[in-house]
Amino acid sequence: MSETVDPKVEIEESCRPQCIRQLIEYEDCTKRIENDPAGEAHCTGQYLDFWRCIDLCVASKLFVRLK
């Protein structure tokens, strides 16, 4: 019996190039706050922007496959 594979993971990878700007912004943010002495800085906004871009890209491709 073959294992069911979630196509979303593959589609997310294919969407990454489309969301490279958001990924770079997130990575730049994490580098900036790496040594935050207070530990209060975060990159939540950039992280959510990246995943929103991925989700929008995936949605248009995933549901076609799930028919």
Single-letter amino acid code for the residue at 58: V
**Can you give the residue ranges of every domain in the chain?**
17-64
d(CA 28, CA 42): 12
Percent of the chain with pLDDT over 90: 64
Would you place residue 67 in the very low, low, confident or very high pLDDT band (cuts 50, 70, 90)?
A: low
Is the confidence at residue 29, as pLDDT, over 70? Answer: yes
pTM here is 0.83
pLDDT at 6: 85
The 10s digit of each residue's pLDDT in 40-62 is 889 999 999 999 999 999 998 98
Total residue length of the chain: 67
